[in-house]
A and B are shown apart, each in its own frame.
Chain A
């Protein structure tokens, strides 16, 4: 075993570890190998009813290696970076590759597709946050929730988190890219109680790359309280078919379902309701959906994907027509297409906002259901059948009439995409997938 350099903390650098793992793989006879590795640390502090509840110090560390013996492959991962653990991981991956079948589509990404330069996307802003400062921020956040409304009687707490780290991808063909990034968050979840003792919970949160971009903690607490209180007095409604407006934070899930249906494995297994749909009209003509992977400070920003392929600004849906799938090299080869730089997922998926805010969309809907929360997993990815638990508000005359709960909303995702009447300009940017609210022409609401 060769010596490996060690930094002051006693942990070898990720670059050295990756190089060593790749070298070990080749010595074990691998014809090619790739390494994904990460190292990070963080702090998470929760305050509940004004008192500290938990202080958690996080350190994460992982290295995974995939080895290729010609077109056979095997993988292994470890959280232990000592030389003997690294050796065991490489041996484990090689042992598996001895028994897996030949797969002609296996292998590293085509060198022509790899990122040639690694742009600085301004993702790394470590926050020198002390435990005491974190406690103070969380207390301000939660206290604002309690003072917003007297019906806020209990809390699950307010949490402040910070995390920073480095991720690396390297191959035996000489690619090595590292990305440093940070992520910070503020969140608050509180409970309201009505005069009959019935409780409702809701929350709000913020998530940014740079702590200076976080909102005031008080505003997060107030929004959590507003959301919890407005749900008090929720009731069931009768079964009906009506237009449904998905508030932006829940509308995002409809784009997640789309992405999973156009991702490589779902397509080559033909287990997706969207097989063979490139070039077809999935949405009304006004819909424009694109990836914006190089947005500075973006939550989903990345200069290259999980196999080193350069990411780029690219349409997914234009004029309502699906333009491409989301592929990595393996599934692209299988489907006789080219990689779209989506190994590991999409990067800042955005839908073009419309002209109306949420109030405008409510007026446009007139009578129907505003959905603010979804629960459960009732999506059949093979058929697109959709049935999920929901809570929200009954809407009459374009205004919230009363809160509703214990209902389901059902349709088929194809019909829902085709029936997308409008997208709001109330874009929720806290995630890798960003959208405004969605107004869908008609769904079945099941209730009493």
Chain B
């Protein structure tokens, strides 16, 4: 019940903010939707959005630049079978909305099929975060002071720290979705992020380390539990480790992945390949494999957009569907795909709350939210002790996947050799490459130390970026190709 009350409040605020200034009420929305639906269509939606973002950045000890960005508009989408018509306007006014509706519905050639009367009613929503405004949650002077403190903390760690770059960003996005089935849903989404990056130097050798975090909350998050200072210390620690790193090995070997952010493995190897669009079209290496064993029995992987406050979480997705926990792999068996409404309908499945879009000017697609593997039972020390010779990788930069061949990469930014069950010397960053449908079959040990990442992930697909989360416990993979330089 509490969630319905908060949704009603969000809906009211979103309408007041997005629609009322343009004189758009229920009658006008019904008029626009009626115009779209006078063509023979399976589905249509209107997506209103207003977002405010800011960023502050520090280098050389001072906050020298900052920027604010405001974006608003409405996207109109019409779907007939597998065909999608799409148009948008950055002005939320009736004439622009009617123009966009006209352009979008042209996708359906046979018009005048049925004039559909629709009744607008409120959809359901979760309440995973407060509809707060991060930008006004802290005085501008305090934002600057926070970055300065982070910088000082990083420098205090070690005299070899030569450069500190830190940035603080926040946004608030108000969205309102109206669907052709009459459902109207709204969400007010805060998001904050703080990043620290340092350069250390010793005997002419320079290295880099970075850390950060955030979530769907306000800037107060960084002030509690010394989080911001923790990022500074972590960035320096990583950079100093890398100063000592030797060239990485090359070849296929046992790899132990640390908990948390290394879960980017799941995002690349499994997650993208299980998005509904690629499977409907048969272009994914996982297409047609539901019910098959694609991972060792130790592996259960979920995508969960309903975790409170996480970077990848949403009260409702960008099609007004409440998010949920979707089981992708259960004890090694492929159980489900990530769906938006269009692909779910075409595949005869249920939407999973994974319909997401970068903005009103982009089409929604099935996208991940927070993707992670459930904990196993083995203490991480035992996993490391079980490896005679291999690589222990604990921090990563980005990754990428070829959906069709299933080959994926992710690049380690902090890694160590394992020798005789012990963590040995650090090695330089290297790219790891594997095959999505095979890699989880080689997971032989799963740790009891599940962790989610600190809130730094951004996923790109077809040129659209959305915030996501990942997580996993410590994993042992028996055979992954490590792209170092030492044969």
Q: Is the CB of B407 within 8 A of A391?
A: yes
Which of chain B's residues has its CB closest to A241's CB? B487
**Count of chain A residues with a beta carbon within 8 Å of a chain B beta carbon:** 79
Of B63, B407, B485, the residue contacting A389 (CB under 8 A) is: B407
Contacts A55-B84, A77-B69, A79-B71: A408 and B63 contacting too (C-beta < 8 A)?
Answer: no
Please give, as numbers and ranges, the residues of chain A lying within 8 Å of B62 by CB-CB distance: 100-101, 103
Q: Which residues of B contact A382 (CB under 8 A)?
A: 199, 206-208
What 0/1 pattern do residues 110 to 147 of A give for CB contact below 8 A with B?
A: 00000000000000000000010000000000000000
Please tell me the number of chain B residues within 8 Å of chain A, measured between CB atoms.
Answer: 82
| Other-chain residue from B65, B70, B199 in contact with A80 (beta carbon distance below 8 A) | B70
Residues B405 and A201 in contact, CB atoms below 8 Å apart: yes
A93 touches B281 (CB 8 A): no
Contact of A387 with B429 at beta-carbon distance under 8 Å, contacts A76-B69, A79-B73, A444-B484 already known: yes
With A100-B66, A382-B206 known as contacts, the answer to whether A447 contacts B481 (CB < 8 A) is yes
Q: B399 interface residue, CB < 8 Å from A? A: yes
Q: Are B141 and A383 in contact (CB under 8 A)?
A: no
Tell which of B85-93, B183-191, B217-225, B227-235 binds the partner: B85-93
- B24 proximal to A (CB < 8 A): no
Q: Cβ of B441 < 8 Å from any Cβ of A?
A: no
Name the residue on B nearest A91 (C-beta): B68
Min CB distance A407 to B, Å, is 7
Cβ of B83 within 8 Å of any chain A Cβ, yes or no, is yes
Query: Which single member of B72, B89, B252 contacts A448 (CB below 8 Å)?
Result: B252
In the complex, what distance in Å separates the CA atom of A88 from the CA atom of B68?
10
Taken residue by residue from 368 to 409, chain B's Cβ proximity to chain A (1 for < 8 Å, 0 otherwise) reads as 000000000000000000000000000001111111110111
In the complex, A88 Cα to B50 Cα: how many Å?
A: 14
Known A-B contacts A59-B89, A99-B63, A270-B162; A377 and B487 likewise in contact (beta carbons under 8 Å): no
A385 to B246, CA, bound (A): 12
The segment from B11-19, B310-318, B430-438, B469-477 that touches chain A is B430-438
CA distance A2 to B47 in the complex (A): 33
Q: Does B248 contact A (CB under 8 A)?
A: yes
Whether A154 contacts B283 by the Cβ 8 Å rule is yes
Whose C-beta in chain A lies nearest to the C-beta of B197? A271
Residue from A55, A82, A411 within 8 A of B86 (CB atoms): A55
Query: In the bound complex, what is the Cα–Cα distance between A200 and B91 (angstroms)?
Result: 43
Q: Any chain B CB within 8 A of the CB of A359?
A: no
Whether, in the assembled complex, A337 has its beta carbon less than 8 Å from a beta carbon of chain B, the answer is no
A95 to B409, CA, bound (A): 43
Q: Which of A51, A82, A375 has the most CB of B within 10 A?
A: A375
Cα–Cα distance between A101 and B144 once the two chains are bound (Å): 9
Question: Do B68 and A75 have beta carbons less than 8 Å apart?
Answer: yes
With A387-B483, A444-B484, A446-B251: A74-B66 Cβ-Cβ less than 8 Å = yes
Given the known interface contacts A95-B140, A376-B399, the answer about A199 and B405 at a Cβ–Cβ threshold of 8 Å is yes
Residue of A nearest to B403 (CB): A201
The reply to whether A89 and B433 contact each other, CB–CB distance below 8 Å, is no
Q: Given the complex, which residues of B lie within 8 Å of A53, measured CB to CB? A: 82-84
Known: A385-B429, A406-B481. A89 touches B70 (CB 8 A): yes
Check B411–A378 contact: CB distance below 8 A: yes
B68 with A408: CB separation less than 8 A: no
Interface string of A176-193 (1 = CB under 8 A from B): 000000000000000100
Contact A75 B397 (CB under 8 A): no
- Which of A60, A73, A96, A378 has the largest count of B CB atoms less than 10 A from its CB? A378
Decide if B398 touches A380 in the complex (CB within 8 Å): no
- Contacts A80-B72, A410-B485: A55 and B106 contacting too (C-beta < 8 A)? yes
Instruction: Give the number of residue pairs across the A-B interface with Cβ within 8 Å.
Output: 259
Interface string of B128-168 (1 = CB under 8 A from A): 00000000000011011000000000000000001101000
Residue B482 lies at the interface, judged by CB distance under 8 Å to chain A: yes
Chain A residue, CB-CB nearest to B58: A101
Q: Is the CB of B481 within 8 A of A270?
A: no
Contact: B430 with A447, CB < 8 Å? no
Pair B64/A101 contact, Cβ less than 8 Å: yes
Contact B483 A201 (CB under 8 A): no
Interface string of B451-487 (1 = CB under 8 A from A): 0000000000000000000000000000001111111
A156-B281 contact in complex given A59-B88, A378-B483, A405-B407, C-beta closer than 8 Å: yes
Closest chain-B Cβ to A223's Cβ sits at a distance in Å of 18
Closest Cβ–Cβ distance, residue A134 to chain B (whole Å): 13
Give the distance in Å from the alpha carbon of A66 to the alpha carbon of B116 in the complex: 49
- In the complex, are the beta carbons of B66 and A99 less than 8 A apart? yes
Determine whether the beta carbon of B429 is less than 8 Å from that of A51. no
CA distance A76 to B66 in the complex (A): 8
A254 CA to B100 CA, complexed, in Å: 42
Chain A residue with minimal CB distance to B430?
A387
Chain A CB within 8 A of B328 CB: no
Residues of B within 8 A of A48 (CB): 82, 281
Bound-state Cα–Cα, A52 to B84, Å: 8
| Beyond known contacts A92-B68, A241-B487, A376-B410: 6 more, CB 8 A cutoff | A51-B82, A78-B69, A377-B400, A407-B433, A408-B430, A447-B251
List 12 interface pairs A-B (beta carbons < 8 Å), by A numbering.
Answer: A59-B89, A93-B68, A96-B140, A99-B66, A199-B405, A201-B404, A270-B201, A380-B429, A387-B411, A408-B250, A408-B433, A446-B251
